[in-house]
Amino acid sequence: MYSKLWLDYERLPKAKVKSIQFDSNEESSLILHAKEELRQALDIDSEADFSVSLTQESNGDTDKSEAFSIEVKDHSAKIQSSSEEGLLYGAYECIKLLRLGALADGFKKNYVPSTPLRMINHWDNMDGSIERGYSGKSFFFRDEKIIVDERTEMYARFLASIRINALCFNNVNVVGPATELISSRYYEDLNKLFEIFQSYGIKPYLSLNYASSMELGGPNTADPYDPEHISWWEEKMAEIYQNLPSLGGFVVKADSEGRPGPFTYGRNQADGANMLGRAIAPFGGKIIWRAFVYNCQQDWRDHRTDRARAAYDYFSPLDGAFEPNVYLQIKNGPIDFQVREPISPLFFAMAKTNLILECQIAQEYTGQQIDLCYLLPMWKEILNFPADMASHTVGQRVAIPSAGIAAVANTGDDWNWTGHILAGANFYGFGLLAWDFDVDEKQVAEEYLSLVLGLEGPALAKVKDMMLMSWPTMEKYTAPLGVGFMVTPHYHYGPNIDGYEYDRWGTYHRADWKGIGIDRTETGTDYAHTYPEALGDMYADPEKCPDNLLLFFHHVPYTHVLQSGKTVIQHIYDSHFEGYAEVLAFLETWNSLEGQMDDDIFLHTKERFERQAANAREWCDQINTYFYRKCGIPDEKGRKIYT
C-alpha cells in the first residue's frame, strides 16, 4: 500500500460542480488524463455553484506553450490553454483550488512557467538501492530489472500534477548493468516505462556512462577526439533513438568522484560534452552535463587546492564553447548541498551557456528525512538571490536558470513515498517552485498540510509554523556559520566534527585552538573573487561578509565579533542550545496534535521527531564540547557544556 499524496481524492469530501465540459476533441493521452482526473476528483451535482470546462485555444502567449489560465465567470470555471500539457496542468490546478475551496466567481489567473525544463533526477540503482535514498527502495528498478506497475502511473500523475516535465530514472553514477540501459537488454522494458511518463507530458532521460564505448564492446577509448570513438557514438545514438524514440537525452557525471571523463585524454569538459551533443543532435536530444567536478583525492595538508573553486576554474573559461543542445547542470552551491552555502559563482560567469540549477530534495545533509527540514525557503533564497543582493550593488543579474531547474528526488517505495510525511512537501513544493520562482512557501505548506494530512485551523497553523522554522533550526544545531561538513563520513547524518578533517574530500573546517574557518580571501584561495567584483569584495571582507557564511570565507579567532554583536564562540554555543530547544518544541507541538490526523501518520511522524530530538541533542553537545575544549572559553550564560 502507498499513499496517493495530494491526489487522494477520497481524503476530503469531493468538490461538487454542475457539469464538466470538454471543448477539446483531442483524444491525446494528455487530454484523456485531464478528463479522467476531473471526473475522478469532482462530483456532479446540479445544485453546485458552477460548471467546469476544459478549452483548448491559444491565449496568445505562443512562446510559453505550457501556459494556461483559469477564469471563473457566469457560473463557469474555464481552464484554457493552447497546449495539451497546459490543459492537463490546468485540470490539476482547478481540482486543487476546488478541493481547497479557493475557486469562486471572479477568480482569474494566468499560469506561466518560469523556466522551460523542470526536471527530477533519480539516483536509483539497478539493484533497487537508491544512492542517498531515505525512503525505501527504488520503484523503478529491482534485481537489475525494470519495474512497471500501478505505482509507476501514480508517480507520473504526481509529477504532472506539480508540472514536472522531465525525469531522469537512474543514478548519475552509472555502473554495472546501468551502463547497459542503452542496449537491447533494456530497450523494450524502458519503452514501457517511458510510455507512461510520456503520456503525462514528462520527457524521459537516462544517466549515461561517459566511457560506455569501453564497456559495451566499442573502441577501448573515450577520447572525444578519437574518430572511432566518435563514430561509435553516432551509431549508438541512432540505435538508441530507433529503440527509444521518446528519449529526451542524457544526464552525464564525468570526471567526478571516480567517474570517467575527458580529462583522462587531456581534453576539457566542453570537448567531452560536445562530442556527445553532436552525436545526439540529429535526434533532437539534449546532453545535460554536470558541473560537479573537483579533486576528490586532496591532501588535507594542502591549503591551496580549494574544492569550492573547482567547478568555476574548470567551467567558466568554457562559457560559449558548448554546443546548443548541451546544458550545464550546476549545484546550488560550490560544495555539495550543505545546509548553508553561498550560491555557485558559475551562475554569474556563464551567460552564454544553457544553465540548469540542481537542487537536492533528498535530504542527504539536511536530516535524511528523519529530521524535519522544509527546503523551499532555501531554494527560494537561491532563486531570489539577485533581488536580495541588489543593495550590495552586485550589478549583474544571475543567469539562473536560463535553461531549467532540476532536483534530486527524495522518493522511494515507502508507503508515504518520502520517509517523513512532511518531506513530501519538499517534493510537492519543488515542482511548484520550478514552475513559478515566486511561489509562496507558506501557501505551499498550507496546501500540502490540508490536502495530504487533512489538517485545518490551529493544527494546520502549528505544523506550518514548524515547517517554516525547520531550515533555520537545522542550521542552528548543525555545522556553524557556513562551515559545513561536520557530519559522519559517508553516511552524512549526525555529527562527526573531525570526520572529514584529515580526509581526501576537500571539506575542511581548519579549527585550531585560536580560531576556525577557511580562508577563501586573497590570503587564502581567493575563491571570494570568483564572484562579480562587488559581491566578491563583500565576501572577502570579514566585517561585511554575512554572518551565516563567515566561516565559509574566513579563518577567524573565536573571539571575532559577528555583525550580530556576538563573538563566534558565543554564537556557536547560543545557536546550538537554541536549535536543540527548538527541536524539543517541535516534538512537543507534534505530540499536542494527537487525534487531529490519521493515527498512523501521527505515530510515524512522532517517531521521526523523537529521532530528530536525539540527533539535535548530539549535535548540540558534541559541537559545544568540541569548541569549548579547543578554545577554553566558557559560555557566558553558564549553560551545561560537557567536558
State yes or no: residue 616 binds ligand GCV (CB under 6 A): no
Alpha-carbon gap, residue 146 to 103, rounded angstroms:
41
Smallest gap, in angstroms, from Cβ of residue 290 to ligand GCV?
Answer: 7
CA distance 140 to 152: 8
Does residue 253 interact with ligand GCV by CB under 6 A? yes
Q: Least Å distance between CB 343 and ligand GCV? A: 17
Q: Is 172 in the site for ligand GCV (CB under 6 A)?
A: yes
Signed CA dihedral, 472, 406, 434, 278: sign only: positive
Which C-beta is closer to ligand GCV: that of 172 or that of 222? 172
CA distance 296 to 505: 5
For residues 218, 223, 224, 227, the Cα torsion angle rounded to the nearest 10 degrees is -60
- State the Cα–Cα distance between residues 137 and 413, nearest whole angstrom: 5
* Nearest residue (CB) to ligand GCV, 107 versus 491: 491
Strands 108-111 and 68-73 come out as antiparallel
Nearest approach, Cβ of 405 to ligand GCV (angstroms)?
16
CA 359 to chain centroid, in Å, comes to 3
- Choose between 123 and 435: whose C-beta lies nearer to ligand GCV: 123
Smallest gap from Cβ 490 to ligand GCV, in A, equals 8
Distance CA 45, CA 40 (A): 14
| Minimum distance from residue 172 beta carbon to ligand GCV (Å) | 5
Smallest distance, Å, CB 286 to ligand GCV? 19
Q: Residues 4, 132, 142, 566: which binds ligand GCV (CB under 6 A)?
A: 132
Within 10 angstroms of residue 40's Cβ, the number of other Cβ atoms is 12
The sign of the CA dihedral 7, 111, 406, 178 is positive
Task: Evaluate whether 323 touches 370 at the Cβ level (below 8 Å).
Answer: no
Q: How long a stretch of residues is the chain?
A: 643
User: Which range of residues in 57-65, 165-173, 542-550, 576-584 is near ligand GCV by CB under 6 A?
Assistant: 165-173
Provide, rounded to whole angstroms, the least separation between the CB of residue 403 and ligand GCV. 19
3-state SS class at 145: strand
Q: Binding of ligand GCV at residue 295 (CB under 6 A)?
A: no
Q: Per CB under 6 A, does 489 bind ligand GCV?
A: no
Distances in whole angstroms, Cα of residue 251 to Cα of each of 208, 259, 488: 6, 13, 29
Among 26, 49, 127, 131, binds ligand GCV (CB under 6 A): 131
Known catalytic residue at 594? no
Which region among 169-177, 180-188, 310-318, 421-429 touches ligand GCV (by CB under 6 A)? 169-177
Q: Is 323 or 364 the residue whose CB approaches ligand GCV more closely? A: 364
Q: Could you tell me the smallest distance in angstroms from the CB atom of residue 292 to ligand GCV? A: 5
**Closer residue to ligand GCV, CB minimum distance, 382 or 432:** 382
| One of 200, 292, 294, 347 touching ligand GCV (CB under 6 A) | 292
For position 341 contacting ligand GCV by CB under 6 A, the verdict is: no
Nearer to ligand GCV, 131 or 610 (CB): 131
| Residue type (1 letter), 217 | G
Is there a catalytic annotation at residue 512?
no
Site membership for ligand GCV, residue 155 (CB under 6 A)? no
Q: Which long-range contacts (CB under 8 A, 24 or more apart) does 111-114 make?
A: 111/67, 111/68, 111/69, 111/70, 111/435, 111/436, 112/61, 112/64, 112/67, 113/64, 113/66, 113/67, 113/163, 113/435, 113/436, 114/434, 114/435, 114/436, 114/437, 114/438
Q: Which residues of 106-139 are buried (b: 16+ CB within 10 A; e: fewer)?
A: eeeeebebebbbbbbbbbbbbebebebbbbbbbb
User: Do 493 and 478 meet the contact criterion of CB atoms below 8 Å apart?
Assistant: no
Stretch of 133-141, 171-179, 219-227, 515-523 lying at the interface with ligand GCV (CB under 6 A): 171-179
Determine which one of 37, 255, 271, 364 is catalytic: 364
Residue 123 lies near ligand GCV (rule: CB under 6 A): yes
Q: Verify binding: residue 336, ligand GCV, rule CB under 6 A.
A: yes
Which span sits near ligand GCV by CB under 6 A: 83-91, 170-178, 553-561, 577-585? 170-178
**H-helix segments, 84-137:** 84-99
Distance CA 275, CA 230 (A): 7
C-alpha cell of residue 557: 579567532
Q: Which residue in the list 93, 255, 271, 336 is annotated as catalytic?
A: 336
State yes or no: is 131 an active-site residue.
no
Euclidean distance between CA atoms 517 and 509, whole angstroms:
5
173 binds ligand GCV (CB under 6 A): yes
Of 237 and 423, nearer to ligand GCV (C-beta) is 423
Residue 255 vs 336, nearer CB to ligand GCV: 336
Q: How many angstroms separate the CA atoms of 200 and 194, rounded?
A: 10
Site string for ligand GCV, 354-373 (x = CB under 6 A): ----------x---------
- The residues annotated as belonging to the active site are 257, 336, 364
Binding site for ligand GCV (CB under 6 A): 123, 131-132, 171-173, 253, 257, 292, 336, 364
